[in-house]
């Protein structure tokens, strides 16, 4: 049965057509005959307990420069949709959090992917701390004395913002780096939140592996190898995508996380693994499914729609 699907995303005109995971999901949905509507998060409204958005019918094509057509805009009550894809990119700020509060109102009549309540409760670098034995030593704080004692214990560390993304403001600080004091000062004026201090993992040279789980089950993976002159593996920072297999340890990690993700309605999740350790559980708008398919891996968009269709039957 065709589903009535709305996607909440950033402006579709500006996406990277060949790399965007949301776009891959939309292409697959359309191929299956589902009807697509599109809106950006700034068009959401909550009025007397009902959630509305100005939506536009959407058609997509896997063609650079000609990837979408929008129909006539209309004000829709979001509960009329079978499925809403919550897919805007971070920053995970209070505007983002507010959209999760609004989308929460249309459940369970509408299936929101991922579940907005649990997206809100699972910021990527916080949720992962529920699994301390799978993580590198990690401190979340803005307290100087705490950071100094962590640094004394662990030597080389990484400092990065708690709500950062795409490798922004990720620094390696070596044991004897005299810039630490200034970096601390800069973090404390730049970020209102606590930040992440983590043991530096030399294994990052071999890559930061993105593993996708669909409804708690392993679906595919891609390794991202940092450029020679950068710590960061993010593809937007020049990290190179490479085909990969899961290690035994990574399989164990997926088995441990699976039930927690499934229980929370986190259907489309990307975890990041460096060496033997997870550093993030991405639930807001994970990416990587096109890279995985382009490298000869599975078509994860199909797996996701199989699951969604089963849940909507
Ligand atoms: N503890 C660490 N050890 C080594 N490299 C790290 C560590 N933490 C982050 N990095 C590097 O920085 C990149 C970005 O960090 P990450 O924690 O994934 O934040 P973001 O949300 O910005 O992607 C990683 O892909 C990796 O290359
Ligand atoms: Mg990352």
- What are the Cα distances from residue 28, in Å, to 81, 104, 185, 299? 18, 25, 47, 10
Distance between CA atoms of residues 155 and 84, nearest Å: 46
Q: Which two tokens stand for residue 127?
A: 């949720």
pTM of the predicted model as reported, rounded to 2 decimal places: 0.97
Query: Which of these, 78, 35, 82, 89, lies nearest to 54 by C-alpha position?
Result: 78
Instruction: Tell me, in angstroms, the distance from the centre of ligand 1 to residue 174's CA.
Output: 15
For 15-74, what is each residue's pLDDT tens digit?
999 999 999 999 999 999 999 999 999 999 999 999 999 999 999 999 999 999 999 999
Is 32 catalytic? The answer is: no
State the pLDDT at residue 56.
98
Alpha-carbon torsion (121, 127, 131, 133), positive or negative: negative
Is 142 catalytic? The answer is: no
Cβ partners under 8 Å of residue 229, min gap 6: none
Report residue 271's pLDDT band, with 50, 70 and 90 as the boundaries.
very high
For 276-310, what is each residue's pLDDT tens digit?
999 999 999 999 999 999 999 999 999 999 999 99
Cβ atoms of 277 and 211 within 8 Å: the answer is no
Distance between CA atoms of residues 139 and 135, nearest Å: 11
Which position among 87, 120, 125, 199 bears the catalytic label?
125
Is 210 catalytic? The answer is: yes
The DSSP code for 205 is G
The DSSP code for 273 is E
Is 205 catalytic? The answer is: no
For 150-208, what is each residue's pLDDT tens digit?
999 999 999 999 999 999 999 999 999 999 999 999 999 999 999 999 999 999 999 99
Pocket of ligand 1 (CB under 6 A): 136, 158, 160, 164-168, 170, 198, 200-201, 204, 208, 226, 231-234, 272, 274, 279-280
Instruction: Tell me, in angstroms, the distance from the centre of ligand 1 to residue 105's CA.
Output: 35
Which alpha helices (H) appear in the chain, and where do they start and end?
Answer: 21-31, 94-104, 116-121, 124-127, 144-154, 180-190, 248-263, 289-294, 300-312
């Amino acid at each position: 049965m065709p589903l009535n699907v709305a996607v909440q995303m950033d402006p579709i005109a500006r996406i990277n057509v060949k790399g965007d995971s949301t776009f891959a999901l939309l292409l697959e949905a359309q191929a299956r005959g589902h009807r697509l509507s599109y809106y950006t998060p700034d068009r959401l409204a909550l009025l007397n307990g009902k959630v509305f958005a100005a939506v536009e019918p959407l058609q997509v094509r896997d063609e650079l420069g000609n990837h979408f057509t929008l129909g006539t805009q209309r004000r829709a009550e979001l509960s009329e949709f079978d499925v809403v894809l919550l897919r805007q990119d971070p920053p995970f700020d209070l505007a983002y959090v507010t959209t999760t509060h609004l989308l929460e109102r249309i459940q369970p009549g509408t299936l929101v992917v991922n579940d907005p309540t649990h997206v809100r409760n699972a910021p990527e670098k916080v949720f992962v701390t529920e699994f301390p034995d799978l993580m590198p030593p990690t401190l979340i704080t803005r307290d100087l004395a705490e950071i100094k004692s962590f640094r004394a214990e662990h030597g080389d560390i990484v400092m990065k913002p708690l709500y950062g993304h795409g490798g922004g403001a990720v620094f390696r600080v070596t044991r004897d780096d005299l810039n630490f004091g200034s970096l601390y000062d800069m973090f404390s004026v730049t970020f209102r939140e606590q930040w992440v201090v983590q043991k530096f993992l030399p294994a990052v040279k071999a890559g930061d592996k993105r593993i996708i789980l669909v409804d708690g089950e392993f679906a595919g993976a891609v390794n991202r190898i940092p450029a020679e002159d950068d710590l960061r593996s993010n593809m937007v920072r020049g990290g190179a995508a490479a085909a990969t297999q899961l290690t035994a340890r990574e399989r164990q990690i997926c088995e441990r996380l699976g039930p927690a993700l499934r229980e929370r309605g986190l259907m489309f999740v990307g975890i990041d693994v460096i060496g033997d350790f997870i550093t993030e559980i991405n639930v807001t708008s994970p990416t990587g499914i096109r890279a995985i398919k382009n490298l000869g891996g599975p078509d994860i968009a199909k797996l996701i729609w199989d699951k969604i269709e089963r849940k909507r039957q």
